[in-house]
Amino acid sequence: MRIVLTGGGTGGHIYPALAIGKRVVEEDESSSILYIGTPNGLESRIVPAQGIPFEPVEITGFRRKLSYDNVRTILRFLKGVRRSKELLRTFKPDVVVGTGGYVCGPVVYAAAKLGIPTLIHEQNADPGLTNKFLARYADCVAVSFQESLPRFSRTKRIVNTGNPCATNVVQASRDNGFNSLGLPNGSRIVLMVGGSRGAKAMNDVMVDMVPMLGRLPDVHFVFVTGESYYDGTMERMKAVMPRISNNIHVLPYLHNMPEVLGASTLVVSRSGASSLAEITALGIPSILIPSPNVTNNHQEANARSVADAGAAKMIIERELSGAALFELIYAIMTDGQRLNEMSTAALKLGMPQSASLIVNELNHLIEKR
Between helix 200-209 and helix 230-240 the angle, nearest 10°, is 20
Q: Using CA atoms, how far apart are residues 183 and 206, in angstroms rounded to an integer? A: 21
Show binding-site residues: 10-12, 124, 196, 299
- In contact, 172 and 262? CB cutoff 8 Å: yes
What's the chain's Rg over C-alpha atoms? 21
CA dist., res. 57 & res. 81, Å (int): 9
- Please give the C-alpha separations between residue 352 and each of 32, 107, 297, 347, in angstroms, as whole numbers: 24, 28, 26, 9
DSSP state of 143: E
Helix extents (H) in the chain: 11-27, 43-49, 69-91, 104-113, 129-134, 165-169, 174-181, 200-209, 230-240, 257-263, 273-281, 298-308, 322-333, 336-349, 354-368
Tell the burial category of 154 from Cβ atoms under 10 Å away from its Cβ (0-12, 13-18, 19+). exposed
* Side chain identity at residue 305, one-letter code: S
d(CA 343, CA 279): 10
Question: What are the CA-CA distances from residue 368 to residues 59, 89, 143, 210 (Å)?
Answer: 31, 20, 21, 58
Look at phi and psi of residue 335 and say left if phi exceeds 0, alpha if psi is from -120 to 50, else beta: beta
Q: What is the dihedral of CA 192, 176, 164, 271, to 10 degrees?
A: 0
Alpha helices in 135-199 (DSSP H): 165-169, 174-181
Binding-site residues for UDP-N-acetyl-alpha-D-glucosamine sit at 10-12, 124, 196, 299
